[in-house]
Amino acid sequence: MEYTIYILLLPLFTFIFIGLLSNKLSHKTAGIIGTISLTIITILSYMTAFEYFTTQKINGVYQTIVPFNQLWLNLGANLHIDLGIMLDPISVMMLIVVSTVSLMVHIYSLGYMKGEVGFQRYYSFLSLFTFSMLGLVVATNIFQMYIFWELVGVSSYLLIGFYYTKPEAVAASKKAFIVTRFADLFFLIGILILSFFTQTFDFGILMSGDGSIFNSAIGTTFIGGSVLTWAMALIFVGGAGKSAMFPFHIWLPDAMEGPTPVSALIHAATMVVAGVFLVARLFPIYIGFTPEVLHGIAYVGAFTAMFSAIIAIVQTDIKRVLAFSTISQIGFMMVALGVSGYEGHEGLGYMSSMFHLFTHAMFKALLFLGAGSIIHAVHSNEMNQMGGLRKYMPITHLTFLIACLSISGIPPFSGFFSKDEILTATFNFSNGLGIWMTVVAFLTAFYMFRLYYNIFWGKEYKSENGHIPHESPISMTFPLIFLAAVTLVSGFIPFGKFVTADRAEYIIHLDWTVATISISVAIIAILLATALYRKPSNIPSKIVSKTKGLYKAAYHRFYIDEIYLFITKSVIFKGISQPFAWFDRHIIDGAMNGLAWITNWTSLKIRGFQSGQVQWYAYVFLLGTLLITILAIAI
Amino acid sequence: MIELLVNSVSIPMVAFLIVSLIMFFAGVFGFLTRKNLIMILISVELILNSVDINFAVFNRYLFPEQMEGLFFALFGIAIAACETAVAIAIIINIYRRFGNVDVDNVNKLKG
């Protein structure tokens, strides 16, 4: 499968081509070049997936294959960094997810970004992102993954700050970059520790099941844990930063300042699940050697899921609701990974996490693209400026409804299957966690339908200047329809046949007890939302006034941003940075400046001697000679 | 008669050296105080000539059977001639440029 290399090279060349010629190309040409390139990539990805899943199964177990691997940096006798392509079930699945969503976003942007200044730049950045994300998922070693990990961070930064004349967008892009970069520092430290003790970066060796390479890392202890535990925990911190897990979630809601298709691609479907992908990629190490870290991941995920679901209920900006919903759903995936075992039924968590990653990517991209369509029509992000839009935008309405039903977990939509399996896996782990996640599922259904009713039902749409919302053009509705179709059918994919922790086939059985519970809580939540928000009523505002403190705290996202600002501004900047800055300016610079000042002063004083008058020089020379002569005679 | 004069009247070496010294310091004094380039050149010639005298005197008095000192004196004279030629050429150029030969005006090469 040597052609897989083109999956990486093509978007890179597209990025360079559109980026360099951005002034020469017209908007249309740039968009079409980008879209065609992405179409080819998508076709190649599907070919890869088909060929991989049909031919690489030996004794019922999918093999890892490396079609391409190139030595990139030699660090020593047996430590080297390669760049290459590794195909295994999860990377092939990610190829499909990334290329599909990216293609849809490329098509969608043709309509959504029409006439924007910097259209070509936008498309070149999209290609850069696609390249980085594909490079991340097919990485053969953890260092290559880290390189592309940073590249997706950069392209995310560039795309969030696409409207660089808007101060909020610039601030949001910086925030996203700094927060994720801060988490990536821990990731890097984790990689370095892991590779120092195991003497390899290569996933193939790390995942070979040979425990002996970890012996030295397990044997060395550091502050109450083995070094391996620390390394794996630090690596997870990097994943938590990218996947917006608490407390690194603060960048994701602000990242919604970027263009909406970008939010759909990067901040809903692909980049933010990189953390989940990372944990899944290193899953054999987590489960085999550091299960305590894995349980920690489950609790972080569970807390984040609940936390952001509560915030999502009270947000009024539709994209922020979706952003918090994304954080919550990634929490679900993390929980599923955290509670998973390795083989057979035990490995249900892993399988369901990957399944949820897949279905979530599709329906969340659909939700975001739908939100983009709505914003395109009403020119606002705020819920209270919408309402009654179902008459004006039938296609958007229908597809959005499908996505809402899917994320709420209503059969037969895809979200039901994946979420149900996550809940089953969680209940298998512990009842407490299972109930906790069921409550989150309840909240999910509630806030999604609050969003839905507020946009499409509720009060009638009133425009201020006679503007009537209209359905979006075909380039925008086609991706909606396509993704809605995927959402409709993807639940029936026998996912356990393709992606499992031990790579052997696992037949999914619906656990009807759990399924009944999850369906009934979803329906109750939807009915509750219907009662509250379908028609304009004052019940919601009454509830708000009764629970004022909680509402206000949730509306302000529990003041996490403020805590961050306080810590950085008042503690770190004032307490640490300012003294350092003073020391630097006054002591270090002062010493250097003093040296320069002394030199200057001395030269001012003695420069009179060098007058350029040869006769004066001769006079001094004569005096000197006489002096030496007298001294020579005297001594 | 002449031979008698040379042999009988013995002039001590110090006398020649005193003349040479006076010439030397007259040259140095002129070099330091004069502003006119021609006068400075003359002063330099005085210094050179005082050195030539020294060469001749030391050769004549200390090593009368050898000729190196005299040759050196001749050599010095040749050098002085060359140097004068070059210096005069420079001075003429300076005169053409500035209209005088005052050394204070020649400061355009100062760094």
pLDDT tens, position by position, A358-382 = 999 999 999 999 999 988 888 888 8
Chain A residues with CB inside 8 Å of B33's CB? 615
**A464 vs A233: CA distance, rounded Å:** 53
Helix or strand or coil: residue A282?
A: coil
Chain A residues with CB inside 8 Å of B32's CB? 615, 618-619, 622
Count CB pairs under 8 A between chains A and B: 15
Burial (Cβ within 10 Å: 0-12, 13-18, ≥19) of residue A338: buried
Residues A506-528: pLDDT tens digits? 877 777 888 898 899 999 999 99
Residue B111, chain A, CB below 8 Å: the answer is yes
| Closest C-alpha to A339, from A301, A289, A379 | A301
Please say whether the dihedral angle defined by the alpha carbons of residues A553, A554, A560 and A565, taken in this order, is positive or negative.
negative
**A23 vs A570: CA distance, rounded Å:** 45
**A268 vs A360: CA distance, rounded Å:** 8
Helix or strand or coil: residue A62?
A: strand
Note whether A619 contacts B32, CB cutoff 8 Å.
Answer: yes
pLDDT of B89 > 90? The answer is: yes
Residue ranges of E strands in A432-553: none
Which structure tokens are listed for A140?
């053969």
Residues A588-613: pLDDT tens digits? 999 999 999 999 999 988 887 777 77
Tell me which of B24, B28, B34, B35 to substitute to probe the interface with A (most A C-beta atoms closer than 10 Å).
B28
- Note the Cα B90 to chain centre separation in Å: 19
How far is A189 from chain B, CA to nearest CA, in Å?
57
How far is B41 from chain A, CA to nearest CA, in Å?
12
Note whether A615 contacts B111, CB cutoff 8 Å.
Answer: no
**What does the pLDDT read at residue A149?**
93
Residue A615, chain B, CB below 8 Å: the answer is yes
Please report where in the chains the tokens 């870290």 appear, as a residue. A293
CA dist list (Å): A292 to A114, A246, A289, A459: 50, 18, 9, 50
| A611, closest residue in chain B (CA to CA) | B110
pLDDT of A37 > 90? The answer is: yes
**A17 vs A20: CA distance, rounded Å:** 5
CA dist list (Å): A264 to A33, A361, A363: 21, 9, 10
**A152 vs A87: CA distance, rounded Å:** 20
Note whether A612 contacts B28, CB cutoff 8 Å.
Answer: no
pLDDT of A239 > 70? The answer is: yes
pLDDT of A206 > 90? The answer is: no
Confidence of residue A564 (pLDDT cuts 50, 70, 90): confident
| Closest C-alpha to A364, from A555, A96, A97 | A97
In a domain, B71, yes or no: yes
How far is B53 from chain A, CA to nearest CA, in Å?
20
Note whether B111 contacts A612, CB cutoff 8 Å.
Answer: yes
Chain B residues with CB inside 8 Å of A619's CB? 32
In a domain, B76, yes or no: yes
> Is the Cβ–Cβ distance between A265 and A129 less than 8 Å?
yes
Confidence of residue B9 (pLDDT cuts 50, 70, 90): low
Average pLDDT over residues A105-128: 90
Note whether A615 contacts B32, CB cutoff 8 Å.
Answer: yes
Backbone angles phi, psi at A511, to 5 degrees: -90, 105
Helix or strand or coil: residue A341?
A: coil
**A372 vs A327: CA distance, rounded Å:** 19
pLDDT of A566 > 60? The answer is: yes
Of residues A338 and A224, the one with the higher pLDDT is A338
In a domain, B3, yes or no: no
User: Which structural domain, as residue segments, surrounds residue B65?
Assistant: 13-105
Please tell me the least confidently modeled range out of A4-13, A97-106, A504-513. A504-513
How far is B59 from chain A, CA to nearest CA, in Å?
24
Identity of the residue numbered A76: G
| Sequence-distant (≥ 6) Cβ neighbours of residue A438 within 8 angstroms | A423, A517, A518, A521
pLDDT of A329 > 90? The answer is: yes
pLDDT of B110 > 70? The answer is: no
Tell me which of A610, A616, A622, A629 to substitute to probe the interface with B (most B C-beta atoms closer than 10 Å).
A622
How far is B9 from chain A, CA to nearest CA, in Å?
33
CA angle, residues A433, A436, A437, in degrees to nearest 5: 90
**What does the pLDDT read at residue B2?**
55
| B25, closest residue in chain A (CA to CA) | A622
pLDDT of A209 > 90? The answer is: no
Confidence of residue B98 (pLDDT cuts 50, 70, 90): confident
**What does the pLDDT read at residue B6?**
54
Name the region of A379 (left: φ>0; alpha: ψ -120 to 50; beta: rest). Answer: left
In a domain, B5, yes or no: no
Burial A354-389 (b: 16+ CB within 10 A, else e): bbbbbbbbbbbbbbbbbbbbbbbbbeebebeebbbb
Residues B40-59: pLDDT tens digits? 999 999 999 999 999 999 99
Tell me which of A615, A616, A619, A623 to substitute to probe the interface with B (most B C-beta atoms closer than 10 Å).
A615
Residue B28, chain A, CB below 8 Å: the answer is yes
Identity of the residue numbered A576: I
pLDDT of A42 > 70? The answer is: yes
In a domain, B57, yes or no: yes
| Sequence-distant (≥ 6) Cβ neighbours of residue A102 within 8 angstroms | A38, A41, A42, A126, A129, A130, A133, A265, A270
> Is the Cβ–Cβ distance between A501 and A350 less than 8 Å?
yes
Of residues A581 and A496, the one with the higher pLDDT is A581
Chain A residues with CB inside 8 Å of B25's CB? none
| A618, closest residue in chain B (CA to CA) | B32
How far is B45 from chain A, CA to nearest CA, in Å?
15
In a domain, B25, yes or no: yes
Average pLDDT over residues A497-513: 81
Average pLDDT over residues A260-280: 90
Helix or strand or coil: residue A171?
A: helix
Give the number of other Cβ atoms within 10 Å of residue A566's Cβ: 12
Largest CA distance in chain A: 119
Q: How many structural domains compose chain B? A: 1
Among the partner residues B31, B33, B107, nearest to A612 by beta-carbon distance: B107
pLDDT of B24 > 90? The answer is: yes
| Closest C-alpha to A497, from A40, A5, A53, A25 | A53
> Is the Cβ–Cβ distance between A261 and A105 less than 8 Å?
yes
Give the number of other Cβ atoms within 10 Å of residue B79's Cβ: 12
Tell me which of B32, B43, B46 to substitute to probe the interface with A (most A C-beta atoms closer than 10 Å).
B32
Please tell me the least confidently modeled range out of A312-316, A475-479, A532-536. A532-536
In a domain, B2, yes or no: no
Looking up residue B41, the CATH number of its domain turns out to be 1.10.287.3510
**A434 vs A443: CA distance, rounded Å:** 14
ipTM: 0.76
Please report where in the chains the tokens 């009915």 appear, as a residue. A527
Q: Which helix (H) or strand (E) holds A277?
A: helix A274-281
Radius of gyration for chain A, computed over Cα atoms and rounded to the nearest angstrom: 30
Please report where in the chains the tokens 């002591």 appear, as a residue. A587
**Mean pLDDT score of chain A:** 88
How far is A564 from chain B, CA to nearest CA, in Å?
60
pLDDT of B7 > 60? The answer is: no
- How many residues does the structure list for chain B? 111
In a domain, B20, yes or no: yes
**A461 vs A467: CA distance, rounded Å:** 10
Tell me which of B25, B29, B31, B36 to substitute to probe the interface with A (most A C-beta atoms closer than 10 Å).
B31
% chain A with pLDDT above 90: 43
**A131 vs A38: CA distance, rounded Å:** 10
| Sequence-distant (≥ 6) Cβ neighbours of residue A290 within 8 angstroms | A226, A228, A229, A232, A233
pLDDT of A466 > 70? The answer is: no
| A619, closest residue in chain B (CA to CA) | B32
Residues 77-136 of A with CB under 8 A from B: none
pLDDT of A407 > 80? The answer is: yes
**Which residues are bridge partners to A58 per DSSP?**
A61
Note whether A618 contacts B107, CB cutoff 8 Å.
Answer: no
Confidence of residue A75 (pLDDT cuts 50, 70, 90): confident
Residue A362 CB-half CA count within 13 A:
28
Identity of the residue numbered B5: L
| Sequence-distant (≥ 6) Cβ neighbours of residue A521 within 8 angstroms | A438, A441, A442, A445
How far is A630 from chain B, CA to nearest CA, in Å?
16
Residue B108, chain A, CB below 8 Å: the answer is no
Note whether A622 contacts B103, CB cutoff 8 Å.
Answer: no
Residue A618, chain B, CB below 8 Å: the answer is yes
- How many residues does the structure list for chain A? 635
**What does the pLDDT read at residue A405?**
92
